[in-house]
């Protein structure tokens, strides 16, 4: 489904795509340790907490930055909470779901649209909480300079695109699926696709004429407007997505009992109320965790309809 002409509507922040979600997964572990996660009966102490993340979330899981983060956070959890832990990157969301169903992983972290795809075929997969960055439901925007003649996505063909590496999988999904409407990929639809480290760098390059189009999440665009209002006024929106479901922390069936799940959820909700929690949220470019909202099923259904899952590559 293609979005058309639209006025600049600002409503939806940034470090590297691969590290943000890799570290987001790590961020959950201290909360788990803090509430003393158990599985099965209350008497069964979980010796090693295993948290899975989809390949789509982690990207370059073997890069030096990710490796350093894993080692640092593992030591932090062990020293502060006395709980051993493993962060296990899976090949993709299908493998993550399969490992959770087999009980090999206690929790999973999915991009919101991945969770929608997975739950469609695995109803025992349930959302425990959602991770928020300012807005509950992220919206992807495509912006250009005001003098750009493009009025919709189709008008962007042949132009250069900056896709900030901020960990927002919904940005890539939106751009990819819009490009496919004309039977192309993002790489063939656009003349060039770059992945700058952060949104501000991308938008500055747009204003300076170094790139012609930037894909950005609403929260980051709003932040740029606040920091650089003069530059922001030189931009306009040509397309935006429907709201995407946010990152989901999920459990499968009865792997974790209800009491433990509620304890864990409470620990996440309280992240904004203590210094250590605030530090973690800042590190992972989040503003907090929220309980699953009442309209979540509706947003998941819309995501599956607008962005149906593709068959596994063979």
pLDDT in tens, 135-146: 999 999 999 999
Task: Please report the pLDDT score of residue 30 as a whole number.
Answer: 55
**What is the crossing angle of helices 17-34 and 275-283, to 10°?**
160
- 228 or 91, greater pLDDT: 228
Q: Is residue 254 part of a domain?
A: yes
What are the distances in angstroms from CA 7 to CA 13, 50, 172, 225, 231? 22, 45, 22, 15, 17
CATH number of the domain residue 29 falls in = 3.40.190.10
**171 and 291 part of one domain:** no
Residue 9 in any domain: the answer is no
**Selected residue with higher pLDDT from 268 and 196:** 196
Q: Which of 240, 273, 296 is the last residue of a domain?
A: 240
Calculate the average pLDDT of the chain: 80
Residue 69 has pLDDT above 50, yes or no: no
Count of the separate structural domains present in the chain: 2
Domain end, chosen from 240, 261, 284, is at 240
1 in a structural domain: no
What is the separation of C-alpha 159 from the centre of its chain, rounded to a whole number of angstroms? Answer: 26
> Of all helices (H) and strands (E), which one includes residue 237?
strand 235-240
Q: Is residue 7 part of a domain?
A: no
**Strand pairing report for 125-132 and 288-290:** antiparallel
Judgement on whether residues 87 and 215 belong to the same structural domain of the protein: no
- 295 in the same domain as 221: no
Nearest by Cα to 119 from 130, 132, 110, 129: 110
Task: Identify whether residues 34 and 66 lie together within a single domain.
Answer: yes
3-state secondary structure 126-159: EEEEEEEECECCCCEEEEEECCCCCCCHHHHCCC
- Same domain for 123 and 156: no
The whole-number average pLDDT for the span 107-132 is 94
pLDDT (mean) for 92-109: 93
10 Cβ neighbours under 8 A, 6+ residues apart: 218, 221, 222, 225
More confident residue, 195 or 83: 195
pTM: 0.82
One domain, residues 149 and 215: yes
Residues 272, 126 share a domain: yes
- Are residue 72 and residue 100 in the same domain, yes or no? yes
pLDDT of residue 59: 38
Q: Could you tell me the pLDDT band of residue 120, with boundaries at 50, 70 and 90?
A: very high
Cα end-to-end distance, the chain, whole Å: 26
Say if CB 108 and CB 250 are below 8 A apart.
Answer: yes
Question: How far is residue 32's CA from residue 265's CA, in Å, rounded to a whole number?
Answer: 9
Query: Of 220, 240, 260, which one is at a domain's C-terminal end?
Result: 240
By CB atoms closer than 10 A (0-12, 13-18, 19+), residue 177 is: middle
Which residue segment(s) compose the domain that 94 sits in? 17-135+244-306
Alpha carbon dihedral 27, 31, 32, 33, in 10-degree steps, equals 110
Residues 236, 257 share a domain: no
What confidence tens digit (pLDDT) does each residue in 146-170 have?
999 999 999 999 999 999 987 788 9
Whether 10 is in a domain gets the answer no
pLDDT of residue 177: 96
Same domain flag for 161 and 252: no
């Amino acid at each position: 489904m293609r979005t058309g002409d639209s006025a600049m509507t600002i409503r939806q922040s940034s470090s590297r795509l691969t590290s943000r979600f890799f570290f987001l997964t790590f961020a959950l572990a201290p909360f788990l340790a803090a509430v003393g996660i158990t599985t099965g009966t209350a008497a069964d102490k979980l010796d090693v907490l295993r948290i899975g993340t989809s390949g789509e979330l982690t990207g370059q899981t073997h890069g030096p930055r990710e490796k350093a983060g894993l080692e640092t956070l593992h030591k932090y959890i062990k020293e502060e909470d006395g709980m051993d832990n493993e962060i296990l990157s899976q090949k993709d969301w299908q493998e993550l779901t399969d490992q959770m169903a087999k009980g090999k992983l206690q929790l999973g972290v999915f991009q919101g649209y991945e969770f929608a795809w997975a739950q469609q075929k695995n109803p025992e997969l349930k959302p425990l909480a959602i991770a928020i960055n300012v807005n509950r439901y992220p919206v992807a925007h495509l912006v250009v300079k005001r003098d750009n003649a493009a009025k919709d996505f189709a008008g962007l063909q042949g132009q250069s695109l900056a896709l900030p590496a901020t960990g927002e999988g919904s940005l890539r999904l939106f751009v990819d699926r819009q490009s496919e409407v004309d039977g192309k990929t993002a790489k063939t639809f656009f003349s060039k696709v770059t992945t700058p480290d952060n949104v501000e760098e991308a938008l500055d390059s747009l204003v300076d004429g170094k790139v012609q189009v930037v894909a950005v999440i609403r929260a980051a665009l709003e932040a740029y407007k606040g920091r650089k209002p003069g530059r922001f006024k030189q931009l306009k929106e040509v397309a935006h997505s429907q709201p995407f479901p946010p990152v989901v922390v999920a459990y499968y069936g009865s792997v974790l009992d209800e009491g433990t799940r509620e304890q864990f959820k409470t620990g996440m909700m309280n992240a904004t109320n203590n210094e250590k929690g605030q530090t973690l949220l800042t590190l992972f470019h989040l503003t907090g965790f929220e309980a699953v909202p009442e309209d979540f099923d509706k947003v998941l259904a819309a995501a599956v309809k607008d962005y149906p899952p593709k068959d596994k590559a063979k």
